[in-house]
Amino acid sequence: MKHAALCVILFSMPVKSPGVPQARRIAPTIQIADNAEVRAALSWFARNLSWINDQQARLTEIPAPPFQEAQRAAAVKVLLSSSGLDVQVDSTGNVVGELRGLNEKEIVVLAAHLDTVFPPGTDVKVRRDSSRMSAPGISDNGTGLAALVAISRAIHEAGLRPQRTILFVADVGEEGEGNLRGMRALVDAYRARLKSILVLDGSGTDHVTTKALASRRLEVLITGPGGHSWSDFGLPNPINALIRGSVRFINTKVPGNPRTTFNLGQIEGGTSVNSIPYQAKLKVDIRSESEDELSKLESALRECISAGVRDEMDSVRDRSKGKLEWKVELLGSRPGGELLANSPLLAALRAADEYLGNQSRIERSSTDANIPLSNGIDAISIGAGGSGGGAHSLQEWYEPAGREMGLKRALLTILGAAGIAEERAR
C-alpha cells in the first residue's frame, strides 16, 4: 500500500512542458518508495533531529517583530545557501532559495513565514526543559522555518533534482499588520509560473488548511482638544467615546454559521492620569467564513463608534471648547478562497498521509495560503510536525516528538508537486 500511495504522490501533478520530451519526464514504472535518493532524503531527518532542533532554537532567538524581519532573514539565507540553493532576498524582504528543475517554466513553492506577533524588546530566549523548548515564537513559526531549512538540506544531501523548479521561501509579513505582504509580493513576482504553494506554519500533522478564512484588521482613531482633568473638566474625552462605542460593538450579535468572530486586540491613548486625552486608538480584528458577514461586522463597528462619539458629545457641558473627530481605517484585508476538491496538491498530501500512516482533517484558517487561494493558485497550509501550544503568548512552547513525520510529510508532498527528474530517479 505504501508503494501505491507514493506512486500517487509522484504522479499527482504531471508535468506537461512542451520543451521536455515525454520519455524524459517521470518514467511510469518508477515509484518513489524504490528511489534511493528519496529514501536517503527521508532517512536524513532521523540522523539530524538534534541539529534541526538547534536551528529552530537559534532562529527563534533572533527577534523578528512585524516589519523587522531582516536579521532573521539573513540567518535563514545562510542556512539555505549551505544547502546549495541560489538564494536572494527580494525587495520586500523575502528570502528566496531556488532549486532549479528540468522544467524552469513551472514553479512550486515551499514557504514558511519569518515574522512573529511580538513587539521589539520581547525576551525570545529559548528555555529547555528536557526535550520541550519554550519561547515566544518557538512554534509559530520557529517550527516552520526549521522544517524549511531541514527539507532543503535533506534534498541537497540526497542529490535529488526535481522536474519543476522548487522555491524555498522564508517570507515576511504574515502576522498582524503585515497583511501577508511577503506572500503577496511572491505571488505577484512568479504568478505566470506558479503551480502550487505548500505553506509550513506551526506544528502538528493532524490538519491541512485548504480553506482561506477572510479577515480584516481595522484601526479606530478618535481625537479631541485635550486638556486638564480639573480645569477643563467637561471637555469631550476620546477615551470615553471609545469605551462607549466599544461597549456597543462587543454586544453585536454574530452568527455561528457562517462562523464570524471579532477581537478588540489593542487600545491606547492619553498622556497622564490627570490629563484629558487628545486621542484614543483601538485595533480590531474581524473574521468570517462569509465575506457578506465580514462587511456587516465592519459596518457595525463604524456605526457603534459613531454612536459612542455622539453619546460622549451629548454628555459634555460646553461644546464651544471643541468637539470629537473619528475615523476607522483598514489596516489590512486577507481575502478568502478555497482549494478545489480535486486539487493535485491535496492529492499529493493525502498520498503522503497514507504512506506515513497519518490522518489529517481539513480546516479553514487565515495563513499565507490565503493569497494564492484567492488568486486561483493551488495552495495548502500544514504544520511541520511535533506539537506546540500557547501560540501568540509569552508561554509558547514546542515539543519535537513527532517532528520526523511532519518533515517526511512535507518533503513527500513537495516532491509530489514538483516531480523528480528522470535522470535522478533511475
pLDDT digits (tens, 9 = 90+) for 306-330: 999 999 999 987 778 789 999 999 9
Out of 16-25, 113-122, 154-163, 224-233, which region has the weakest mean confidence (pLDDT)?
A: 16-25
Give one DSSP letter per residue of 1-51, joined into a string: -HHHHHHHHHHSS----TTS-GGGS--TT--GGG-HHHHHHHHHHHHTHHH
pTM across the whole model: 0.88
Strand, helix or coil at 309? helix
- CA-CA-CA-CA dihedral for 399, 49, 369, 185, to nearest 10: 120
Query: Residue 18 above 50 pLDDT?
Result: no
Report the distance separating Cα 291 and Cα 313, nearest Å. Answer: 33
Mean pLDDT of the chain: 92
With a pLDDT cut of 70, the percent of the chain lying above it is: 91
36 band by pLDDT with thresholds 50, 70 and 90:
confident
Cβ contacts of residue 95 below 8 Å, gap of 6+?
73, 76, 77, 80, 87, 88, 89, 114, 169, 170, 171
H or E, element range at 348: helix 344-356
Res 68: pLDDT = 98
Res 16: pLDDT = 37
Report the distance separating Cα 234 and Cα 230, nearest Å. Answer: 9
Cell of 216: 480584516
Query: Residue 13 above 70 pLDDT?
Result: no
35 band by pLDDT with thresholds 50, 70 and 90:
confident
Name the H helices within 217-290: 238-250
pLDDT digits (tens, 9 = 90+) for 314-370: 998 777 878 999 999 999 999 999 999 999 999 999 999 999 999 999 999 999 999
Q: Which of 315, 367, 311 is nearest to 339 (CA)?
A: 367
pLDDT digits (tens, 9 = 90+) for 250-289: 999 999 999 999 999 999 999 999 999 999 999 999 999 9
Res 21: pLDDT = 34
pLDDT digits (tens, 9 = 90+) for 47-96: 999 999 999 999 999 999 999 999 999 999 999 999 999 999 999 999 99
